[in-house]
Amino acid sequence: MKRKYFVALLLLISAVIQAQVIPANAVILRKAGQDGVHTYRIPGITTTHKGTLIAVYDNRYKNSGDLPGNVDVGMSRSKDGGKTWEPMKVIMDMGEPHDDNGVGDPAILFDPATKKIFVVALWSKGNRSIAGSGPGLTPDETGQFVISESSDDGVTWSKPVSITPQVKDPAWKLFFQGPGNGMVMKDGKLVFAAQYWDAAHMPHATIIYSDDHGKSWKRGTGAKSNTTEAQVVETTPGTLMLSMRDNRGKFRSIATSKDMGQTWKEHATSYNTLPDPICMAGFMKANVNWKGKKKDVLFFSNPASSTARMNLTIKASTDLGETWPGAYQLLIDERASYGYSVMTKIDNKTIGLLYEGKGDLYFLRVPVKDISK
């Protein structure tokens, strides 16, 4: 066989194998190169009171690199539980010069009391992301923690506003969001996971919260040093559980707080239970049908490995994060990927999973029964 035909055959076989491992019912929400965007990354998703799914993500126009760069926040809506999606809209664009004025790493939540959707993101005016951000509060000094909102189910969005002066210590290098999803506590407080890089450039995962439905914001303290991208849930009323990306590698770190992040206690499952290859991970609490009964369940999604971003898996805990039984997990996608994922409840029997490929974003409707077995 001539070499060029042999190479073509190998490429065809590789493509077939690749196609076979993509979940059969997955929707390619965003395809690399679509709408002039080189890479789609950093997913967030929420469900509104109308059942509308709102997905947000980075539009990385020129390459796959993080901020600083030409990056906007894109948004997609679905009104049929994620089966089909409307055309993408850009909801955060900080204007010229685009190559030096990016905004990204979004997180999203829906407030059932006001019916508003909030999206937070990091604005880097010039080199004001992790490497280039410094002390201070202004856009010319430090990265900006910006927020946009929608009051019409995601159809239109407000211009991004910086809440940096409310939440950042001026001595810190940088303060910004999770990314991924925020959540709403039983008493109505809005909560986003966050991270700050202190004066010594050491990162700490934490939270921000609003007790007046987004009119003002407050911050917590650091839950653990050398942790960054986190997600937060409320286990029992008033108790927050923070799942943190730990730069030490191998496992997720977990901490709980009963005073809105003013103090934290490392959890028994911290850095020993949930393998993680130093990556962002999805984390949510949902009341679902679990083996025939309504139950509060914690769901966790990440590349289930201590060393590689592959084997994306959803795991479930039926005791509010005290244990994560091996029986309650579902392998979603074996392929190597960028690894980030987020979840939302679609209905009592279904959760929605939005996750990264390598430049693409995939959405999957996952039956709860497939996880509970």
Residues carrying an active site annotation: 229
Residues in the chain: 373
- Residue 7 structure tokens: 């190479």
- Look-up of token digits 């084997």: 311
For the chain, the 3-state helix, strand and coil shares in percent, each to the nearest 5, are: 10, 45, 45
Residue 268 near residue 322 (C-beta atoms within 8 A):
yes
Given CA atoms 135, 340, 323, 260 in this order, what sign does their dihedral have?
Answer: positive
Closest CA to 302 of 348, 343, 362, 272: 343
* Alpha-carbon span 110 to 149, nearest angstrom: 10
* Alpha-carbon span 79 to 209, nearest angstrom: 29
CA 189 to chain centre: 19
Query: Which residues have a Cβ under 8 Å from the Cβ of 14 and sit 6 or more positions away?
Result: none
* Residues forming beta bridges with residue 265, ordered by sequence position: 256
- Kindly report the number of other CB atoms within 10 A of residue 112's CB atom: 10
Which contiguous run of DSSP H or E holds residue 233? strand 227-234
